[in-house]
Structure 1
Amino acid sequence: MPRPVRDGPWSPGAYLTYSSERTQPFTDLLNRTGATEPKYIVDLGCGPGNGMAALRQRWPDAQILGVDSSADMLERARQSTEGDSGIEYQHMDIRTLELEHKADLIVSNAALQWIPEHRGLLPHVQRQLAPSGILAVQIPGNFAEPSHRLLAEFAAQEPYREHIDPASMLQRTAEVSDYMHDVAGPSWHVEGWETTYHHVLQGENPVYDWVAAAAARPVLRGLPEKLREQFTAEYKEALRQAYPRTDLGTILRFRRLFFIARSTQ
């Protein structure tokens, strides 16, 4: 059985600590879709539903389906959109996606990178679109930054590495041009771009809090409690040095990759 996109319990509260910063790339993606009045929208990897408000504000009459493999995330999402009969949720691994109705717009914000073989899934996702449908995707491209580089370096060291399955860690994503080729074809119009955000975070260990809620999660879950405490202390200290606090707060550089494929059929 394939490993779920979001394996094991997630903490929606921790993930939403920086909700506005995590949602901004989604808003920027929606601004570029070119969709006018989509009747049926699917959000792949909808998480705790932090993008639903942006979808509903932009397309108030659309039917929206949120898909995620984390029951905890979906429960939080249902609570956040309670009372909106036009929004439904489905507990599903993106790899087994089969829509009952073809979608006019499929969006995915920072979710596909959790699937090692996500590039090979893109044509299947495109087949779930209606004629003239649009696929719009954002994924992180931040793996060369200290937040991710230090995580990989610490995870590869003793005494941690024997407890961590390398396959469970996020793998480096491809480049924008690679994804554009993945979704290109005779009946598709494709575009792509990247943006590096400079988030100003507050708190004692804000970069650790950010990464621990997402990219570092598989590493932290794999470690026994005592080693997890040791790993956390060392990783936090390294992050504090890599991301010093300033008068503004702690500035986190975060590179995001975007690509859109529009069916011309």
Structure 2
Amino acid sequence: MWDPTKYLAFADHRSRPFHELVARITTTTPRRVVDLGCGPGNLTETLAERWPDAALEAFDSSPEMIEAARARGLDATVADATTWTPKPDTDVLITNAVLQWLPTHPQLLRRWTAELPQGAWLAMQVPGNFHADSHALVRDQITTNWPTLTDTLRDQIPVLDPAGYADLLGDCDVDAWETTYLQRLEGPDAVLEWITGTALRPVRAILDDTAWTTFRAELAPKLRRAYPQRQDGTTWFPFRRVFAVARVR
């Protein structure tokens, strides 16, 4: 279950990669723009502003996120990205911080680019911090102390590097890159709060309130040591993201 409020708590940090991704799309008059994994819709709104004449298609697998998007007035729907097929007039497909949850996303990217019309744009961004302490400490805690949560762990690196996506999308004109943002987070246990809204979501979905409180209490001091709070109450949190923008030939 996704919590839109928790997710939006770091809206500025989460939106910056989206804007830098979309800036690489140079088309001016797309017929249809798709936001695949639209979340609470705060970024989808910017697509409507940039391309006001385009049909805007927005969907997410989370009913909670779609409810939040609809509250913004968006015509968003609950749908499964793994079975979605682009309509013939889809000229822009954007998927932001979604594909890391889908082990089959390399195959999906190949299928989508084969189904999109000539000249269409596919733009994707995924977190590339799987080996960071914020994730490694969670995996270690589950493996050591919470074996019942083992199914929440991903068995392999969930995303490729820029060269991997460039090769994968090699039949298109591709621009692929990575950026590590040094994010300045505020408040106590800021990194724990950040991953609670994303990486820890599968854990929270399994644990009851008491177990969840215990899990967080065990993890918090480990994250504090890895990401110490500065004297001004802020925490530096390096966050790597991987981007690819492809234009169909």
Pick the TM interval, shorter chain.
Answer: over 0.9
Write the distance in 2 (CA, Å) between the matches of 1:169 and 1:23. Answer: 28
User: 1:34: which partner in 2?
Assistant: 26
User: 1:121: which partner in 2?
Assistant: 108
User: Which of residues 175, 182, 193 is equivalent to 2:161?
Assistant: 175
Indicate if the aligned counterparts of 1:103 and 1:128 stay in contact, CA closer than 8 A. no
TM-score of the superposition, structure 1-length normalised? 0.87
User: 2:95: which partner in 1?
Assistant: 108
Moved over 6 A (4+): none
User: Which of residues 231, 235, 245 is equivalent to 1:250?
Assistant: 235
Shift of 1:170: 8.5
Task: Name structure 2 gaps, 5 residues minimum.
Answer: none
Write the distance in 2 (CA, Å) between the matches of 1:28 and 1:57. Answer: 16
User: 1:90: which partner in 2?
Assistant: 77
User: 2:63: which partner in 1?
Assistant: 71
User: 1:262: which partner in 2?
Assistant: 247
Task: Name structure 1 gaps, 5 residues minimum.
Answer: 1-8
Indicate if the aligned counterparts of 2:93 and 2:121 stay in contact, CA closer than 8 A. yes
Write the distance in 2 (CA, Å) between the matches of 1:211 and 1:119. Answer: 24
Q: Deviations along 1:61-80, whole A, 9 cap, x unmatched?
A: 22211121111101101112
Shift of 1:167: 5.4
Q: Deviations along 1:30-78, whole A, 9 cap, x unmatched?
A: 1112222212100111111121132123222222111211111011011
Q: Deviations along 1:110-157, whole A, 9 cap, x unmatched?
A: 001111111111111223422210100000001121111111111111
Shift of 1:248: 6.5
What secondary structure, in the 3-state scheme, does the structure 2 residue paired with 1:208 have? helix
Indicate if the aligned counterparts of 2:86 and 2:112 stay in contact, CA closer than 8 A. no
Write the distance in 2 (CA, Å) between the matches of 1:163 and 1:263. Answer: 41
User: 1:206: which partner in 2?
Assistant: 190
Within the alignment, does 1:150 sit opposite 2:134 as a pair? no
What secondary structure, in the 3-state scheme, does the structure 1 residue paired with 2:211 have? helix
TM-score of the superposition, structure 2-length normalised? 0.93
Return the letter of the residue paired with 1:35.
Answer: T
Q: Deviations along 1:212-235, whole A, 9 cap, x unmatched?
A: 111111123223444322211111
More moved, 15-24 vs 34-43: 34-43
Query: Where in structure 2 are the equivalents of 1:55-66 lying within 5 Å?
Result: 55-66=47-58
Shift of 1:166: 4.1
User: 1:48: which partner in 2?
Assistant: 40
Indicate if the aligned counterparts of 1:109 and 1:137 stay in contact, CA closer than 8 A. yes
Return the letter of the residue paired with 1:259.
Answer: A
Among the aligned pairs, what percent are the same residue? 36
Return the letter of the residue paired with 2:228.
Answer: P
Write the distance in 2 (CA, Å) between the matches of 1:100 and 1:133. Answer: 12
Write the distance in 2 (CA, Å) between the matches of 1:248 and 1:58. Answer: 37
Indicate if the aligned counterparts of 1:44 and 1:94 stay in contact, CA closer than 8 A. yes
| Residues paired across the two proteins, number | 248
Write the distance in 2 (CA, Å) between the matches of 1:78 and 1:45. Answer: 14
What secondary structure, in the 3-state scheme, does the structure 2 residue paired with 1:148 have? helix
What secondary structure, in the 3-state scheme, does the structure 1 residue paired with 2:222 have? helix
Query: Where in structure 2 are the equivalents of 1:187-206 lying within 5 Å?
Result: 188-206=172-190
More moved, 117-126 vs 21-30: 117-126
Taking structure 1 as reference, are residues 171 and 189 closer, same or farther at Cα in structure 2, changes over 3 Å only?
A: same
User: 1:6: which partner in 2?
Assistant: none
Write the distance in 2 (CA, Å) between the matches of 1:145 and 1:39. Answer: 40
Taking structure 1 as reference, are residues 113 and 64 closer, same or farther at Cα in structure 2, changes over 3 Å only?
A: same
Return the letter of the residue paired with 2:237.
Answer: L
